[in-house]
Structures are given as C-alpha cells and as structure tokens.
Amino acid sequence: MTMQAASTEIASRTAAIIDEMKGLEGPLLPILHSIQEEFGYVPKDALPVIADGLNLSRAEVHGVVSFYHDFRAKPAGRHVLKLCQAEACQSMGSDVVAAKVKQLLGIGFHETTRDGSVTLEPVYCLGLCACSPSAMLDGEVIGRLDDEKIGEIVAEVRS
C-alpha cells in the first residue's frame, strides 16, 4: 500500500469510528481508545480527522493524546510489557526492576525492540500493589518481580 493510500485508509476507518461514537458524552477518549484498538496505536493521520469530526483544534486533540500514557504513537511490538511505576511498586524497587529490564532488552520506555518482539511501557498501578513490584505482559498481571521472574519474562518475549 502506498503512503497516500494508507493515510486515506486510516482517515476513512477513523471517520467511521467517529460517526459511531460522537453522540457519546465526552466522546474524545472513547474514540481514541477505539482507534488504538483498531490500529494498535493512534496514527498521526487520524488526529486531524478527529479534530474536524469533533470540532476541536488539532492542538487540543494532540494534547490529550500525549497526556495519556495509554496512547501509542507507533504500532506496538508482538508483546507489550508494562512495568508498574506507581507509588507502591516504587517503594518496592520498581525503578531497579525497570533499569534491569531496559538493560536486558536494550530499550527504554515507549520503545520497541528493533526486531519488533516487544514494546516496553510504564503503567501507573495495576491493582496488584500487595504483590509489588508488578508488571503486565500481554494483558496478564505478574506480581513480586524478582531477578528470576524478570529473566523468564525477557526470555518469553524474546522467543
């Protein structure tokens, strides 16, 4: 697909989502979530379509997308690993865990390994504070991260 065709495709799929959801109260966030579900990220080409559809400025839409950590600007890798960085996990060493994972994978937060195997993201509380430090791998929560579990997770996303 040419770039032009891809951006037309994104615009038309985005317009269909907006049509379906713009009647909701406070439609911007649900629309952005649906777009991320549809494409796996929020494409840049979708932003002007959303702004026009909801009568907002492009800056407003861009501001919301960049404010929320949930929205990705690029497609994710085959696995998505989220490391909790909220308070309870912080107090149990989540920054040390994050540093180790980053070193093992060779990427930082909001990055994807070059082979496309994994995207690393911070998350702010997974509701698993009693078992901190916690993570989520492809939607499954993992508690009490230690060196062994980190090694297993990294091996799994690399396989």
Residues that bind ligand FES (CB under 6 A): 84, 86-89, 125-126, 128-129, 132, 134
CB of 125 or CB of 154, closer to ligand FES = 125
The C-alpha atoms of residue 144 and residue 10 are separated, in whole angstroms, by 40
In DSSP terms, which residues pair with 83 in a beta bridge?
A: 122, 135
| Least Å from the CB of residue 139 to ligand FES | 15
CB of 48 or CB of 143, closer to ligand FES = 143
| Least Å from the CB of residue 69 to ligand FES | 14
Which residues does 51 contact at the CB level (< 8 Å), separation at least 6? 57, 58, 60, 61
| Amino acid occupying residue 38 | E
| Least Å from the CB of residue 121 to ligand FES | 14
Instruction: Report DSSP state, residue 45.
Output: T
| Least Å from the CB of residue 96 to ligand FES | 14
The C-alpha atoms of residue 139 and residue 43 are separated, in whole angstroms, by 22
CB of 112 or CB of 132, closer to ligand FES = 132
| Least Å from the CB of residue 85 to ligand FES | 8
Q: Which two tokens stand for residue 157?
A: 């996303």
Say whether 8 sits in a helix, a strand or coil.
Answer: helix
CB of 87 or CB of 147, closer to ligand FES = 87
Rg (alpha carbons) of the chain, rounded to whole number: 18
CB of 51 or CB of 137, closer to ligand FES = 137
Half-sphere exposure of 59 (CA within 13 A, CB side): 0
